[in-house]
Structure 1
């Protein structure tokens, strides 16, 4: 079992610490702009709640038959804080163990978590944008209102944006540190083999 250098163990520790801001910063954001809302409407998704112009967005979306956005439609708010807590503890354990397999294992878990979040966001957006109330005041045949997973999309007279917010950018920085640790470890082992 290859033991990691102290500097790589420190990188794992810092990567684990980047998980903590997820409890105190928004993780995702969805924004809308239209002629009647030039300043934009914004909804931020945190680890356990929503913030921003949620009521105004609900008022606008009601006319096209979209579901009411509420915290009760996100069961993730109940268990996400525990999953992130487990990831944090596993990161600390990986740094303490200091073996190559613990680095790769922690990176794999963080990557799988990120992919699971993206899949979950896509499925929520699909359901939200496709399952419309047939009695809605405004109906456009064959029109769906699924917000973009990442990036911009035009929906009627609205420009919608969806993407990571502060907490997710910090988490991605932590994952980047794990990649740096892997690259450094491989270079170190390559140099040892050459020597």
Structure 2
């Protein structure tokens, strides 16, 4: 008995998911804005899958006062290999689309879910590490804190806004493209 195949239209959706994954690499995935009376225009950290951008030096200078270790690309080893994982996932999506393998799609969706959960865990882990491992000898003593992955937080006189950016939404759209074949080809 031959293995079940995806319809051509479903294969197009899986291929589109691969394209969206590749496209996501060109955009930031996550960010955090910092607003305070002395910085009304705000400061920001922008996280791409392979680099950090934004007002990193200024934020590190301010974080020194509360005893937080500095942010740098070296602090986040994931930035060295995340792009390769995304490229591998895109290639897997293209292979599944080409072969139209239903079994491959199911395995890929499971891997996508696991990868997404690990990614969210990793962001939370880093936020907790930076916010709770404060230097006891810092000039300003504040209670340890864990900024949210998404949403608003207040730290001293700074209000922070954490958000998912364009790249994360493209990854989300890729996941939706993978779910369409499940719905379209469900057994009645």
Instruction: Sort the TM-score into its range (normalised by shorter chain).
Output: over 0.9
The 3-state SS of whatever aligns with 1:160 is strand
Partners of 1:170 and 1:179 lie apart in 2 by 14
The 3-state SS of whatever aligns with 1:152 is strand
* Partner residue in 1 for 2:110: 108
Partners of 2:152 and 2:109 lie apart in 1 by 29
CA drift of 1:13 comes to 0.3
Partners of 1:12 and 1:149 lie apart in 2 by 28
Instruction: Give structure 2 stretches of 5+ with no counterpart.
Output: none
* Partner residue in 2 for 1:7: 9
Alignment of 1:110-125 (within 5 A): 110-125=112-127
The 3-state SS of whatever aligns with 1:63 is helix
Q: Please tell me the root mean square deviation across aligned C-alpha atoms, in Å.
A: 1.2
Asked if structure 2 preserves the Cα contact closer than 8 Å seen for 1:19 and 1:171, the reply is: yes
* Partner residue in 2 for 1:154: 154
The 3-state SS of whatever aligns with 1:115 is helix
Partners of 2:101 and 2:177 lie apart in 1 by 16
1:89 corresponds to 2:91: yes
CA drift of 1:84 comes to 1.2
Alignment TM-score, normalising by the size of structure 2: 0.94
Alignment TM-score, normalising by the size of structure 1: 0.90
CA drift of 1:152 comes to 1.4
* Partner residue in 2 for 1:183: 183
**Cα deviations by residue, 1:83-138 (Å, 9 ceiling, x for unpaired):** 11111111111111212212212212222111111111111111100011111000
Instruction: Give structure 1 stretches of 5+ with no counterpart.
Output: 191-195
Partners of 2:120 and 2:99 lie apart in 1 by 30
* Partner residue in 2 for 1:172: 172
Q: Which runs of 4+ in 1 moved over 6 A?
A: none
* Partner residue in 2 for 1:63: 65
Asked if structure 2 preserves the Cα contact closer than 8 Å seen for 1:95 and 1:102, the reply is: no
CA drift of 1:163 comes to 2.3
**Cα deviations by residue, 1:26-65 (Å, 9 ceiling, x for unpaired):** 1111111112222211111112211011111111111111
* Partner residue in 1 for 2:22: 20
Of the structure 1 ranges 76-85 and 169-178, higher mean CA displacement relative to structure 2 is found in: 76-85
